[in-house]
Amino acid sequence: MAEDFQGIATQFVAHYYNTFDTDRKALAGLYRENSMLTFQSAQCLGAAAITEKFVSLPFQTVKHQYSGADAQPTPNGGIIILVTGQLQVDGGEHPLGYSQAFQLTKDPSGQWFIFNDIFNLVLV
C-alpha cells in the first residue's frame, strides 16, 4: 500500500482527541461541508453544524483515554478507524465508556479530513 494507513490513523486520533480536549472549536478544520457526524443518534451535516454540536455539549472539560485505534484502508483510498475508550467530563469520578468510528478521506488539495464520524457512549 502506498500510504501507512495505521500510522496516519494513530497520528490522526492523537491529534483529534488532544484538540477535542483542549479547544473543541478548533475541530472545525478537520471536517468539510460534506462531512457527517452521528452523535448519540443525532446527525449533523457540514463543518459548521458539527462544530456547533461540539461546542454546545453540556460540559466544560473533557479528557479522553483510549488504548489505540484499529484502522483499515478503504477502496477509495481512505481510512476507516475505530476507537474505544473512556472519557471523563468536568473532573467526574466515574469515566464513561465510548466508541467512535471515523472515515478519513482526502480533499482535492490532498488534505485528510473526516468524511464520516459516529460517536456513541457505551452505557452498561
Q: What is the pLDDT of residues 85-98, one digit of tens each?
A: 999 999 888 899 99
> Residue 2: is its pLDDT beyond 50?
no
Higher pLDDT, 124 or 62: 62
The model's pTM is 0.93
Residue range 5-122 forms a domain whose CATH class is: alpha beta
What percentage of the chain exceeds 70 in pLDDT? 98
Domain spans of the chain, in order of start: 5-122
The CA angle 21-27-31, to the nearest 5 degrees, is 145
What's the chain's average pLDDT?
94
Strand 112-122 versus strand 96-106 pairing type: antiparallel
C-alpha cell at 78: 481512505
Q: Across 1-124, where does the E strand assignment appear?
A: 31-39, 42-45, 62-73, 79-89, 96-106, 112-122
- Residue 96, pLDDT score: 93
